[in-house]
Amino acid sequence: MRAMVIPSLAGALVFLAVWKLIVVIGGYPAFILPPPEAVGVRLAQAWTSGLIAPHAATTMLEVALGFGVGALAGLIVGYGLAKSSLVARLASPYLVAAQATPILALAPVLALWFGPGLLGKVIIAALIVFFPVAVSTMVGIRTVDAGLLELGRSLRASRRQILFTLEIPGALPAIFGGLRIGITLAVVGAIVGEWAGAERGLGVLINIARGSLFDIPLMFATLVTIAAFGVASYLIVVLIERRLVPAR
Amino acid sequence: MTAAIAPRGQIDLLDLALTYPAGQRPALAVLDGLDLRIGAGEVLTLIGPNGCGKSTLLRVIAGLLTPSRGGVFLDGQPVMGPDPRIGLLFQEPRLLPWRTVAGNVAYPLELAGAPRSVIDARVAEVLDRVGLTAATKFLPAQLSGGMRQRAALARALILEPEVLLLDEPFSALDAMTRDRFNVELLALWGRLETTIVFVTHSIPEAIFLGDRVIVLSSRPGRVAADIPVSLSSPRTLLDLDAAGSSSAAREIRAHLDAMAA
């Protein structure tokens, strides 16, 4: 544990030092690039005054729900794609087209349809999570050792037993590759959704800080919050992966 | 009244044919008109040129492939699909890499829904029989190739099959390990009352292990020769060496050469 903490701390210190150095050498004013300590102070203030918390809570809820819905749909569709060439042929072009359409272009349409509330952001986050999870699930299920599946058949395993004892454990490492990408994209999706129209959320707060408040340290403090939240949710997925993916 | 217990594990193959792949053209006849009776408790070894359908035949007997014609009968009843009375040991160990040795050996009983207490007792017993008790908690990746194949053998034995089918199970092992395995197998089979069908590429192995050696013809596979083996028992490694130069070996070699010509 200690062996991992010390390099991480050292890395963070280097990052902050380079940031500070750029500000000093470049002589940038605080409204272009505030120094790290100013952002740190503003971050602490914004959290203690209760300014950030409601926005952060909204974004977290959007990310959690969007990731949950998108990942679940990705798992189911990915399994269908792997098991049925008909499903793969019918659905693949639409899936790829949906993924190739920039989420930024899609977000205003979804905001128009679903309004400024939670639902639109959850849908955008879910959409963007869906694709990597579906593809990684498809690849994971397709690459399950055919010899093991034949073994299962020779032991008269039911479809359900094959799914739970062979296919899922065999595909889990690949699926978690998709979930890792998906969780970081869920954060992106929620923020993009908030930009397209919302009343609350960290994306909204960035806009407010840049616009009406013109509080650039607050904008950076919000960015730091988003980044920290992204890292934390990624780590949660990694921790779940460590519990679920058995050693082999 | 005579209450003779009928011996179990007799296999009859009647006019067995398999065209592959089913319903497609050009069709490839892998097996064609194969008739064979394998007596209860008999150890039968199958040998034949590459691609003669040995592995296919084993999968048909195991119920994994459905013959295009004819049938497989176990104790007079047709085999319609995978059957718990028939155990199968593949060329590769096919262990679940995320399960321990014990977990892998327990797998068939878990699928069959056996209670935990029964499973644990049976696993310990079978692992002891194949000499793997010390490796119970190891993962497959931590085992040597030979130990993995032992674990796979334990898994095949745990359902106490009447018939055990082995598809070149030692072909990936080095020669010394393979010899030792063959001697161990004979000792093990002496204690089991299982019918055994063993597919091999090795003439000495076929003679050493078998009560009878069946030579399959090249595709489509039929019985080309049926050669009884008269080695004294118990057989030792010296018999394995002698098997290569026995009259049975010369007979098998002649059949195989005739097909290659």
Please tell me whether the overall predicted TM-score, pTM, comes out greater than 0.90 for this model.
Answer: no
Q: Report CB contact under 8 Å: A145, B84.
A: no
> What's the pLDDT at B3?
46
Please write the tens of the pLDDT for every residue from B195-222.
999 999 888 888 888 889 999 888 787 8
Q: To the nearest whole angstrom, how far is the Cα of A155 from the nearest Cα of chain B?
A: 6
Least confident of A91-105, A144-158, A217-231: A91-105
The fraction of chain A above a pLDDT of 70, given in percent, is 98
Q: Is B108 on the interface with A (CB under 8 A)?
A: yes
With beta carbons less than 8 A apart as the criterion, state whether B107 and B182 touch.
no
Taking the C-alpha atoms of residue A222 and residue A218, their distance in angstroms, rounded to an integer, is: 6
> Nearest chain B Cα to A155, which residue?
B108
- Please say whether the beta carbons of B19 and B61 come within 8 A: no
Per-residue HEC secondary structure of A93-128 comes to: HHHHHHHHCCHHHHHHHHHHHHCCCHHHHHHHHHHH
A146 to chain B: which residues are within 8 Å by CB?
A: none
What Rg, from alpha-carbon coordinates, does chain B have? 19
Instruction: Return the SS3 of B24.
Output: coil
Say if residue A212's pLDDT is above 50. yes
Q: What is the pLDDT of residue A1?
A: 56
For residue A248, the chain B residues in CB contact (below 8 A) are 97-98, 139-141
Q: Closest to B139 (Cβ–Cβ): which among A150, A156, A248? A: A248
Average pLDDT by stretches of 10, chain B with 261 residues: 62 88 70 88 88 86 91 91 92 94 96 94 93 93 91 94 91 82 83 89 87 87 83 72 77 81 67
A206: β partners: none
The verdict on B80 touching A (C-beta cutoff 8 Å) is no
